[in-house]
């Protein structure tokens, strides 16, 4: 049965970031993820995780100046030193917070840089990051992101990510498969997940259009959840969507889209707790 983690960058925006941990736990989540921890001390975040019995399953490497519109620097040849410093910072947080995998955003294509140099830079940076993360027993992920939401994003398709994995040749490098981004760029979700499942380290979700809750758009999440379960995916699925209204009230999609017979047969206590919380 799919296991869901609350993305605290996107969900529970009604509260401040540090207060979202309690909100997630009260809503029935046992795991969380978010984009970046670096605006807070690791000690502050660890305290919120422990106080609410939550597991942190993912955060990103530093990705440049996010507020200024940057979305990663891993493909930027002029910023290799900054990227490498960010790797060490992310590992430090990961060790403190108990997370086992970190996501690397490739970034938007910088001006006046050839495709060859972009690729060489990204591959070299990923080799460095994967080697350093392996020393800390961490997985490294790369995430294809759609170019409608982020024009010019260098890594934007699953087959492109798989080819990069081949070139980097690191056994702790995986794909972060975001269903929303994949639907916008390529569709064919079930077959793509099946094809690349051994190389997928983490999945995220949102519906399309709008990037709102599952069930609000064109993606057949009832079928897709069943398919992911049949394929034997064992990782977490991050709920990285924009709630249409109040986050907790909007969580009813889970009771609607997870068929009772699948939930009952899975023996997954997290899933059963979800159904109890949503029913209560």
- Catalytic site positions: 143, 240
Q: Of 229, 205, 203, nearest to 101 (Cα)?
A: 203
Write out the two tokens for 65. 């100046």
Do 264 and 39 form a contact (C-beta atoms < 8 A)?
Answer: no
How many residues are given for the chain?
280
Phi, psi of 142 (to 5 degrees): -125, 145
Write out the two tokens for 98. 């108990």
Do 158 and 196 form a contact (C-beta atoms < 8 A)?
Answer: yes
Angle value at C-alpha 159, between 158 and 165, nearest 5 degrees? 90
Question: Radius of gyration over alpha carbons of the chain, in Å?
Answer: 18
How many C-beta atoms surround the C-beta of residue 208 within 10 A? Answer: 19
Do 103 and 60 form a contact (C-beta atoms < 8 A)?
Answer: yes
* Residues linked to residue 238 through DSSP beta bridges, in sequence order: 5, 204
Phi, psi of 31 (to 5 degrees): -145, 155
Cα–Cα distance measured from residue 183 to residue 157, given in angstroms and rounded to the nearest whole number: 10
Cα–Cα distance measured from residue 215 to residue 217, given in angstroms and rounded to the nearest whole number: 6
Cα–Cα distance measured from residue 251 to residue 238, given in angstroms and rounded to the nearest whole number: 13
């Amino acid at each position: 049965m799919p296991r869901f983690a609350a993305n605290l960058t996107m969900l529970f925006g009604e509260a401040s970031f540090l207060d979202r941990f309690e909100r997630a736990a009260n809503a029935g989540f046992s795991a969380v993820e978010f984009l970046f921890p670096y605006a807070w001390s690791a000690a502050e975040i660890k305290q919120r995780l422990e106080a609410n019995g939550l597991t942190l399953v993912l955060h990103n490497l530093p990705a440049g100046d996010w507020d200024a519109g940057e979305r990663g620097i891993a493909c930027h040849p002029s910023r290799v030193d900054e990227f490498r410093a960010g790797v060490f910072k992310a590992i430090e947080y990961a060790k403190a917070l108990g997370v086992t995998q970190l996501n690397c955003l490739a970034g938007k294509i910088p001006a006046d840089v050839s495709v060859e140099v972009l690729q060489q830079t990204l591959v070299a940076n990923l080799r460095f990051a994967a080697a350093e993360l392996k020393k800390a027993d961490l997985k490294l992920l790369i995430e294809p992101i759609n170019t409608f939401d982020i024009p010019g994003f260098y890594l934007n398709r699953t087959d492109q990510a798989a080819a990069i994995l081949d070139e980097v040749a690191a056994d702790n490098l995986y794909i972060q498969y975001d269903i929303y981004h994949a639907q916008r760029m390529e569709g064919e979700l079930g077959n793509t997940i099946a094809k690349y499942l051994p190389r997928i380290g983490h999945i995220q979700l949102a519906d399309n259009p709008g990037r709102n809750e599952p069930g609000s758009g064109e993606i057949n999440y009832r079928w897709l959840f069943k398919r992911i379960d049949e394929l034997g995916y064992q990782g977490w699925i991050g709920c990285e969507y924009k709630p249409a209204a109040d986050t907790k009230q909007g969580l009813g999609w889970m009771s609607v889209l997870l068929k009772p017979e699948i939930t009952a047969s899975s023996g997954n206590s997290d899933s059963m707790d979800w159904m109890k919380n949503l029913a209560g």
